[in-house]
Structure formats: C-alpha cells, structure tokens
C-alpha cells in the first residue's frame, strides 16, 4: 500500500514539477477585472440570426447587468483567444506574447483613456468546441471589451456564428475570407482580420514567382489544413492569369496520416519543375524541405509566412532556395530593433508583430470610440484608416472587415540570413 | 442561467448521448471501438449537409442522418462483431481514419479542411437535455431487457454465452448499431448547436476519451458512466484557470481512479428507486453493507 | 512501380518496425495494446534533444540518451499505470484505458515544456543523399534502416538465447505458471517495459529526424498498432513483417492514389486481410483467455 501511495505521489509530483517549470503563459494581470461596459447593451443588431440561441443572448444581457458596477473601474480587460496548447500552439503563443508586450507598453505610457489595460488569455487548444467555450467565457464571465483573435481559420469559423449573439469585436488574423463574410457577402459584425487575406497572399507569391522567371511549378499542400487549402487556389489563379497552368498531376495533397513526403514529392521532382509551391505550417515545411533536398531537388521552394524565421534555424541547413512571404520589413529600423529584442523569447516573430499591432489598433479605436457604444466601436474598427503598424499601413475595408491594399514583403535566405527582396502592395 | 453554464451543459449533454452509446458497446458488450467518433462525424456531416445543401427539414435531416450512420454501421459491424477484441479496435480505428480522410478529400461536398459552415443553429440546452435523458433511459431500458442481459453474459464469457444458446453475433450487432445510432444522433445535435463542423476532432483520441469516461465512472454501471462523462467533460472547463496544466490534472485524476478504485466512481451501483432507498436507509440507519446487482 | 518507391517504403517500414516491436513486446506479456507507447516516444525524443542533440554531440549519444530515457519513462509508466491493475487482476481493458491516460499525461507534460517553439534535430550527416545509379537514397534512411535492423537482431538474440529471453517468453505464455517455476514475473514485466521503452526512445529519435519534433509526434503509434495487429498479436517477427508490409503498402498506395484515398484503400486492404487471415501474418498462438 505504501508503495502505491508513493507511486501516485511521485506521479503527482512529476506532473506539477514539470508544470511549474513550464511557467504560466496564460494569466496576466489581475484577471479579476469585471469591465462590464464592453457594450453588451448595444441592442439593434441583436437576434440577427440567433435562432434558438435566444437563451444565450438573454443570459449575456443579464450577465452584463450583474457585473456592471463591479470592481476594476480603472481597468480595461481584453481577451486573447489563442491556441496555447495543441498543434498550432507556437503561433498562438507568439501572437499572445506580442499582444502582451503591446499591453505592457501602453500601460507604461499611461494606458488607454487613463485606464490600465489588462489582458487575459483563453486557450482554444486548437479545437473548435474549446474555442466556443473559451469565447463564451471571455465575453460573458469576464466581460472582456475586445478579443485578440487566433491566426487559425477553423477557430474563427467556429466562433463566428456565436459571436453574432454578443457585442465583443474579435480582432483576429484568420486569412480565409469566409471567416469574416457570410454566405450573402455581408460581414459578421464582430469578426475582423488584420492581415492580408489568403487571396492577396497567394496572388503576391504567384506574381513574385513569375516576375522572377520561374515558369514551371509543382504544388504540395496539406488538404487537412484550412490555411494550406485557402492559399492554393489564389496562387494557381494568378498563375493562370499569367498564362501558366500547373499540371493536375503536379498538384499533390497530403494529410496527417501520410508519413512519406518523398513519395509525394517524387513526381514533382522528376518533372523537373522550377519551383515547388508549399503553403504549409513550419513543422511540416521543415520535413518537406528536408525530403526535397534528399531527393536532390535543385529548384526553388515558395512558401507562405511559415518559412519566416525560425524556419531557418529549425531546418538547420542552407535555405538559399527558399522564397517566402512575410508581414514585416526587417529593414525597417523600429522593426529590426524589436526583432533583436524578442528573437530569443518568441518563436514565430511575424505572428508576434501581428499580435502587437492588433492591440495597438485596439487602443486607438477604444480611445476614439470609447467602450460605451458597441456599434460605434465596431464602426471605428471597421473604418481604421492609415494606421501605421509594424506590419504595414493598415486600412480596413468596412465591407469585408479585412485590410484593404495592405502590402506584404517577399524574402529569401542567404544561407541562414533572411534577405528582403521586394515589397508588394496588396490588391 | 449564465450563457457559459448553459453552453457547457449543452455540450456535456451532447457528449452524454455519445457516451451512453459507448457504454452499450464497451460497458455492456465489452467491445472497444476506436472509431466511434467517426459515427459522430457522419451524423454531424450528413444532417448538416442535408439541411445546408438540400434545405431539408431539420428533424427529418436528423432522422435520416442517424439512419445513414446505422447503415454504415451495419457494413462496418459485419466484420467487427465477428472479430476478437484487439481486431475490433483496429478495424474501427482504420474506419475512423478513413472517414476523416474522406471528409477532407471530398471538398466539393464537405468543405474539406475549412469545415462545413452555414448550418443553422437549431439546438439549445432544452433539446440537448431532453435528448440526453431520453438516450440514457433508452440505454437503461436496453440494459434490463433480454438483449442487455445477453450482452452482459457474452461479455463475461463468449463461449459460455454461445453454449447457453445466445446468438452472439446478433446480440453484438444489436448493441453495436444502438451505439452507432446514439453517437450519430449526438453528432447531429452537435452540428446544429455549433453551426459549424470541421473534420478534426473525430479521431481515435476522441473515441478513447469516451471509453475513459465510461471507465472513470464505472464500466459496470450506466449511472456511473453517465456521471463519469458528466464530470470529465465538464472538468476541463472548470479547470480553465489552470491553462495548459489542465490535461495533466485530468490524466492524473483518471489514473488515480484506475489505480485505487478500478471499478470506477460508482462501481456497479445503479440509480434505481430500490437502490436509492437502500442507500438512504444505509445513511440513516447504517443498514446493509453491500447492495446487490 | 519504381524501385525508388519501394525503397521509400522500406525506409518508412523500418521505423514502423521499431514501433511495432515495442508494442508487440508489451502485448506479449500483458495482452493489451499499450497506447502510451506513442507519447513515450515523443517524450524520449525531446529528452534526448535537450540533453544531448541540442549540444551538438552527434547521433549515437542522442540515441543512447533516448534509449535510456525510454527505459526510465517506461518503468515509471509501468509503476504508476499498470502495476496495481496487474495486482488487482483486473481485465486487460483496464491496461488499455490506463495506457491511453498515461499517453495524455506525457503529452500534456511535453506540451507544457515545448509548446511555444519549433524543434528539429540538427542534421547528423554532411551528405544528405547517396546516389546509386539513378536511385537516390537518403543517408538518414540508410542509417535508420541499419540501426533498426541491428537493434531488432540484438532483440531477437536476447529473446531467443538468453535467460532473460526465456523467462520473458515463459511469463508471456503463462504468468502464473512461470511464477510457480521461480520466475519473478514482476521483474520480467518490468524488463519487458524497459526493452520496449528503449525501442520507443530510438524510434522517437528517428521520427523526430524524419518529421521534426512536436508534441503530438507520438500519434504515429497507430501505425505500430496496425502493424503489430496485422502481424499477429504479440508475435515479434510478425510485427516486423507487418511493419515493413504496411510501410511498403502505404507508399505504393500513396504514389498510386494520392493522399486521402490511400488511407481509405489501406483500411480496405487491412479489413480484407483480417477477414481472410484473422490470426495475422504470424498466426500467433496468443489466445484470448476467458
């Protein structure tokens, strides 16, 4: 019996020991802030398409009443809805860190309208059900004023319907336009995206490739990942406009169950293409690039945001044949200064800046519109104009809730060092 | 009731229906399915698609989707009920993976990795709650029926059950299809509650989670399994404050139960009027020590 | 069918073989599918990464560290997850549930430590490929194949020709009788876990090299599960044969049908195989005890 007790005690000790080492990326600030003024009293648009969820809407209203005069009057609470665990946790934690640093910076220089910003993180675990739970916790229990959203399309897709029942803007990064737009083409009132959408990014990468003399292409994409899928057609469409058709047999899909990238790449490499378009997450990208080099592929590999550092260090080898798109300009003085400061603590640097910019935009909008009137706040966010962010000049398109004409940068590597090649304006 | 509580409860009730199905399969019949969640996906996608693409009536779509899942279940069940334990796990595992791959591949129909959007929201807490109660009552009825007793008999000793004249294959198939129907129904409720479904999250880990819930509460007790599902599906939400430690805590808790109370929280105890009276009697009068099955 | 694809399949199969053997070993003695094996692989790969590979110490120290870590983790698992269940004489299904929970625990712990970053083993070779005529073979694949075969040969020798191996076989055949014959069955079960842990550690490093390191790396354990079941439950040679068969089959189907449909085809073939030959490749003597 004693032995068994010892065993269990050991298990517990190990569990909590390791847990303690991990540090707690989540709770920041007091978290007790009950900033009820987020504007649950907007009225008007309520019941848009709520169906049987009337209950939830009611509940949120009563929740607001209860917490209206509560403590934390000098604070504004913002929620950060991210994958802190799960397969995309590296991205989520990077956005979170960026957002938190922006919060700290704002507080250090006097806060927003004299109030302190407090950020609380909600883990979505990369799971859509968890995401809805997290969202509802944030808007009804903690009454956050604004949510910094995830860089993952499926999560945004999952919460977009639920978000209609509330009045808390989700300032996210889901680049699939379907996350912001309903079937009828109007925007979900609370859903916003703060980076160029998939159409723009695919288009930029294709234009860049053609401009640089690449003529034949193969594609390897993850059909089980919405991000990867959403970048596929915009790229192919732009190529088609330029008179290049990619052979059907060279557009190869893969899924989580597939363990052999070499077999998948084989036909593409044998066809002797100039470049492989590879819109995938960093971790698969590393495996794919390794497989390509093992197959003796000598052409270029064109990637999305995920080939930005730390891809180079993770891959470990010579990355000179990699082209990738990025949100940030490392030649910009302020950006490079910040990159140097955070490189060690953040894995996905570009996601850090996206998180940082969102909080800065949120601050500007709250200062302008206040928190009393949800519609006014949403309008302000939808009409952000010429905001000088670190990821570029942000001007929102009020109809689509996505940035209009926001540019991106194309990069390559000189061995391991990122080299900025060209800035592209969005369309 | 706050929106959060109502949201969590709705999800818990939807899970309860699936776990009731797993109880029939694992608790009563002793079969292990690692592809049970795939039937949830079938129920969710089939009913969602019928409504979104064919604009079918909600109730009719749910019924049809359950029937479709049962039909698929019959095809898979044919080999499954003839195989022994680990092969059942393997076949159902492969089946689950295949369904996941199919949902991802058939982009024109299912939306692929981006998921199926635009499903109207038709399910709220009341419907989920009533459904769960009905599902559990149905399973309770099944357990006490002739079939249920035959299931328990063949779980204990298949050969002996056969010798007693029990049609093992038919009983197993009945149990399998009942569990498939319940799981598919829970999937249909899921999609009409979430109004969105994507192909992730229906893998073998989800099926395994349900099995864990059954064992946590008591593999021999429907009441226990229900309680286990209730606790374990609500627990991660209660533990939200612990951030990424919560699954560690969850795992440690389940290990503790498995080690120190292997029959689960409730053992074989069932919530029946008789048992309840006995328990109350025991509490007040220190009555009998052990209750019967 | 090009020879190249078969070679790719063999390379994949050799990693599957390590996983499947570790899996089959535990099945052999305790008669259950140990699903914590996957998370054990992940944990070992990360432990060896942080302790050794990250410091640039090369491949063999990394493998040694991973193997040692695997032994420790598996022993820990046996202690907290299975010992007491064994003592209670609970049914094998409890092992199964317990192993999945252990897997969740390990994965949770790994996530806490590494969730915020990307990890990859440094490349251990200067030349990524060896060219033989028109065939291109990756150095890593050759290394994995050679090491897998070497490890499996050592294992076969231990099982067949040593006291430990004989005792293990006796325990897997009939635990109670073996106990009566003076074999310490608890010790033997521990040994089985240690060996399977070492295999898990090595397999984890291989998976890490092939697919980079991430917390859910171990989900590839299902491949080992499939291989060991079609091989004939509990049979080590069967598991190895099943693993190579699965690796080659998957690669061929992948090149013929593309992703997605190949998964479905694999499932269909597996189902057919089980209906035709339900005892698995090896036709092992493991029987369900009533």
Q: Which residues of C touch B28 (CB under 8 A)?
A: none
Q: Give A120→chain B minimum CA distance, Å.
A: 10
- Decide if C85 and B83 are in contact by the 8 Å CB cutoff: no
Q: Give A291→chain C minimum CA distance, Å.
A: 9
pLDDT at C166 over 80: yes
Fold classified for A2-196+337-394:
Rossmann fold (3.40.50)
Listed in sequence order, the DSSP H helices in A302-414 are 311-315, 333-342, 349-369, 374-382
- Decide if A128 and B1 are in contact by the 8 Å CB cutoff: no
Return the structure tokens found at A219.
């594609």
- Decide if B4 and A141 are in contact by the 8 Å CB cutoff: yes
How high is the pLDDT of residue A5? 46
Q: Indicate which of C38, C112, C116 best probes the interface with A, i.e. most A CBs within 10 Å of its own CB.
A: C116
* pLDDT tens profile A17-43: 444 343 333 333 333 333 333 333 333
Q: Does B209 touch chain A (CB under 8 A)?
A: no
d(CA A234, CA A397): 20
For residues A110-126, one letter each, b for 16 or more C-beta atoms within 10 angstroms of the residue's C-beta and e for the rest, the string is ebbeebbbbbbbbbbbb
Q: In Å, what is the CA distance from C55 to each residue of B72, C68, C232?
A: 53, 17, 41
- Decide if B97 and C225 are in contact by the 8 Å CB cutoff: no
Q: Does A192 touch chain B (CB under 8 A)?
A: no
Residue C166 in domain:
yes
Q: Does C261 touch chain A (CB under 8 A)?
A: no
Q: In Å, what is the CA distance from B185 to each residue of B64, B100, B115, B174, B191?
A: 10, 18, 19, 17, 10
**Architecture of domain A198-326+409-424 in CATH?**
3-Layer(aba) Sandwich (3.40)
Tell me how many domains chain C contains: 1
Q: Which residues of A touch B127 (CB under 8 A)?
A: 52
Q: Which residues of A touch C260 (CB under 8 A)?
A: 223, 253, 255
Residue C75 in domain:
yes
Burial of B278 from C-beta contacts in 10 A (0-12 / 13-18 / 19+): middle
Q: Does B196 touch chain A (CB under 8 A)?
A: yes
How high is the pLDDT of residue C260? 81
Give, for all 427 residues of chain A, the pLDDT tens digit: 444 444 444 444 444 444 434 333 333 333 333 333 333 333 333 333 333 333 333 333 333 333 333 336 789 999 999 988 777 888 888 999 999 999 999 999 988 988 999 999 998 888 888 898 899 989 988 899 999 988 888 899 889 988 998 999 999 998 888 889 988 889 999 999 999 989 999 999 999 999 999 999 999 999 888 889 999 999 999 999 999 999 989 999 998 778 788 889 989 998 999 999 999 988 889 999 988 988 889 899 999 999 998 899 888 888 999 999 999 888 888 888 888 888 888 888 889 999 999 999 999 999 999 888 889 999 999 999 999 888 888 999 999 999 988 889 999 999 999 999 999 887 6
Residue C273 in domain:
no
In chain A, where the domains are located: 2-196+337-394, 198-326+409-424
* pLDDT tens profile B69-83: 999 999 999 988 888
d(CA B212, CA B187): 19
d(CA A308, CA A301): 13
Q: Which residues of A touch C116 (CB under 8 A)?
A: 25, 89-90, 93-94, 347
Residue C242 in domain:
no
Poorest-pLDDT segment among A142-146, B97-101, C83-87: C83-87
Query: Looking at chain A from residue 266 to 295, which residues have their Cβ under 8 Å from any Cβ of chain C?
Result: 266-267, 282-284, 286-287, 290, 293-295
Please report how many Cα atoms fall inside a 13 Å half-sphere around the Cα of residue A51, on the Cβ side. Answer: 16
Residue C33 in domain:
yes
Q: By C-alpha distance, which of C92, C85, C51 is closest to C68?
A: C51
Q: Does residue A383 sit in helix, strand or coil?
A: coil
Q: Which residues of C touch B160 (CB under 8 A)?
A: 290
- Decide if A294 and C112 are in contact by the 8 Å CB cutoff: no
Q: Which residues of C touch A87 (CB under 8 A)?
A: 214, 216
d(CA A366, CA A372): 10
The DSSP letter of residue A252 is: E
Residue C72 in domain:
yes
- Decide if A15 and C119 are in contact by the 8 Å CB cutoff: no
Q: Does B262 touch chain A (CB under 8 A)?
A: no
d(CA A284, CA C45): 17
Q: Give B9→chain A minimum CA distance, Å.
A: 11
* pLDDT tens profile A196-222: 989 999 999 999 999 999 999 999 999
- Decide if A60 and B3 are in contact by the 8 Å CB cutoff: yes
Residues 6+ apart with CB under 8 A from C136: A294, A295, A296, C4, C129, C130
CA angle A292, A293, A299 (to 5 degrees): 75
Instruction: Give the structural domain span for C189.
Output: 22-221
pLDDT at B58 over 90: yes
Residue C110 in domain:
yes
Using CB atoms, pick whichever of A25, A259, A314 lies closest to residue C12: A259
Residue C268 in domain:
no
- Nearest chain C residue to A19, by CA: C112
């Amino acid at each position: 019996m004693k032995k068994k007790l010892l065993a269990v005690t050991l298990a517990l000790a190990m569990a909590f020991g390791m847990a303690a080492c991990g540090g707690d990326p989540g709770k920041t600030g007091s978290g007790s802030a009950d900033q009820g003024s987020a504007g649950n009293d907007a009225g008007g648009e309520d019941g848009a398409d709520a169906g049987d969820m009337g209950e939830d809407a009611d509940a949120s209203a009563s929740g607001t009443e209860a917490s209206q005069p509560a403590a934390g009057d000098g604070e504004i609470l913002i929620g950060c809805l991210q994958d802190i665990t799960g397969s995309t946790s590296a991205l989520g934690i990077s956005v979170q860190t960026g957002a938190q640093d922006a919060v700290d910076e704002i507080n250090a220089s006097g806060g927003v309208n004299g109030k302190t910003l407090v950020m609380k993180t909600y883990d979505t675990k990369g799971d859509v059900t968890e995401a809805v739970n997290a969202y509802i916790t944030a808007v009804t229990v903690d009454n956050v004023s604004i949510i910094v959203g995830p860089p993952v399309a499926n999560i945004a897709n999952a919460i977009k319907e639920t978000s209609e029942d509330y009045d808390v803007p989700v300032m996210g990064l889901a680049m699939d336009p379907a996350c912001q737009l309903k079937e009828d083409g109007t925007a979900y009132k609370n859903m916003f995206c703060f980076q160029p959408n998939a159409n723009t990014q695919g288009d930029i990468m294709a234009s860049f490739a053609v401009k640089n003399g690449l003529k034949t292409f193969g594609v390897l994409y993850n059909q089980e990942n919405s991000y990867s899928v959403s970048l596929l057609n915009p790229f192919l469409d732009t190529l088609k406009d330029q008179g290049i058709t990619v052979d059907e047999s060279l557009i190869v899909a893969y899924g989580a169950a597939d363990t052999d990238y070499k077999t998948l790449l084989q036909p593409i490499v044998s066809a002797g293409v100039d470049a492989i378009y590879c819109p995938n997450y960093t971790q698969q990208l590393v495996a794919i690039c390794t497989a390509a080099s093992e197959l003796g592929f000598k052409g270029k590999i064109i990637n999305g945001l995920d080939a930005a550092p730390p891809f180079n260090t993770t891959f470990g080898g010579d990355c000179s044949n990699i082209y990738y798109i990025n949100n940030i300009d490392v030649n910009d003085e302020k950006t490079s200064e910040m990159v140097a400061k955070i490189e060690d603590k953040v894995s996905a640097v570009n996601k850090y800046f996206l998180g940082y910019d969102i909080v800065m935009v949120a601050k500007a909008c709250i200062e302008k519109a206040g928190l009393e009137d949800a519609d006014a706040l949403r309008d302000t966010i939808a009409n952000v104009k010429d905001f000088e962010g670190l990821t570029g000049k942000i001007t929102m398109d009020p109809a689509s809730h996505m940035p209009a004409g926001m540019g991106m940068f194309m990069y390559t590597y000189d061995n391991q060092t990122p080299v900025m090649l060209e800035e592209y304006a969005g369309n | 009731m706050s929106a959060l509580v109502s949201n969590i409860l709705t999800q818990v009730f939807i899970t309860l229906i699936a776990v009731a199905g797993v109880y029939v399969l694992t608790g009563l019949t002793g079969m292990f399915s690692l592809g049970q969640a795939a039937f949830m996906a079938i129920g969710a996608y089939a009913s969602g698609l019928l409504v979104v693409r064919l604009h079918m009536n909600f109730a009719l779509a749910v019924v049809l989707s359950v029937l479709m899942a049962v039909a698929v279940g019959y095809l898979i069940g044919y080999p499954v009920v003839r195989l022994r334990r680990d092969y059942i796990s393997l076949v159902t595992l492969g089946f689950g993976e295949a369904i996941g791959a199919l949902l991802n591949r058939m982009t024109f129909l299912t939306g692929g990795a981006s998921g199926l959007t635009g499903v109207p929201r038709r399910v709220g807490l009341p419907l989920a709650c009533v459904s769960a109660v009905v599902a559990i009552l149905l399973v309770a009825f099944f357990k006490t029926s002739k079939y249920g007793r035959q299931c328990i008999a063949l779980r204990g000793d298949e050969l002996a059950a056969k010798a007693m004249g029990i049609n093992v294959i038919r009983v197993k198939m009945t149990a399998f299809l009942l569990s498939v129907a319940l799981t598919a129904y829970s999937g249909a409720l899921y999609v009409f509650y979430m109004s969105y479904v994507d192909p992730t999250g229906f893998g073998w880990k989800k099926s395994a989670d349900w099995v864990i819930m059954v064992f946590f509460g008591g593999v021999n007790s429907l009441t226990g399994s229900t309680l286990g599902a209730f606790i374990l599906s609500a627990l991660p939400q209660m533990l939200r404050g612990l951030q990424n430690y919560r699954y560690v805590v969850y795992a440690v808790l389940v290990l503790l139960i498995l080690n120190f109370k292997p029959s689960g929280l409730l053992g074989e105890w069932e919530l029946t009027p008789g048992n309840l009276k006995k328990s109350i009697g025991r509490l007040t009068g220190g009555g009998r020590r052990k209750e019967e099955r | 069918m090009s020879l190249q694809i078969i070679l790719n399949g063999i390379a994949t199969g050799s990693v599957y073989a390590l996983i499947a053997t570790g899996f089959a070993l535990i099945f052999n003695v305790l008669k259950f599918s140990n699903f914590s094996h996957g998370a054990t692989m992940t944990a070992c790969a990360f432990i060896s990464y942080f302790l050794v590979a990250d410091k640039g110490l090369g491949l063999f120290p990394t493998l040694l560290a991973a193997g040692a870590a695997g032994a420790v983790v598996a022993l820990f698992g046996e202690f907290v997850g299975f010992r007491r269940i064994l003592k209670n004489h609970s049914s094998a299904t409890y092992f199964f549930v317990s192993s999945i929970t252990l897997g969740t625990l390990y994965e949770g712990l790994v996530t806490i430590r590494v969730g915020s970053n990307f990890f990859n083993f440094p490349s251990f070779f200067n030349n990524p490929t060896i060219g033989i005529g028109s065939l291109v073979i990756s150095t890593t694949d050759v290394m994995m194949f050679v090491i897998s075969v070497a490890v499996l040969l050592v294992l076969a020798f231990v099982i067949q020709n040593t006291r430990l191996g004989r005792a293990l076989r006796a325990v897997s055949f009939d635990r109670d009788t073996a106990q009566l014959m003076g074999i310490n069955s608890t010790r033997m079960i521990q040994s089985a876990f240690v060996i399977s842990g070492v295999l898990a550690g090595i397999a984890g490093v291989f998976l890490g090299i092939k697919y980079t390191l991430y917390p859910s790396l171990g989900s590839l354990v299902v491949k080992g599960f499939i291989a060991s079941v079609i091989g004939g439950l509990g049979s080590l040679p069967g598991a190895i044969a099943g693993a190579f068969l699965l690796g080659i089959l998957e690669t061929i189907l992948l090149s013929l049908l593309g992703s997605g449909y190949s998964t479905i085809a694999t499932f269909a073939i597996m189902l057919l195989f089980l209906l035709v030959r339900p005892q698995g490749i090896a036709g092992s003597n493991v029987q369900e005890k009533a």
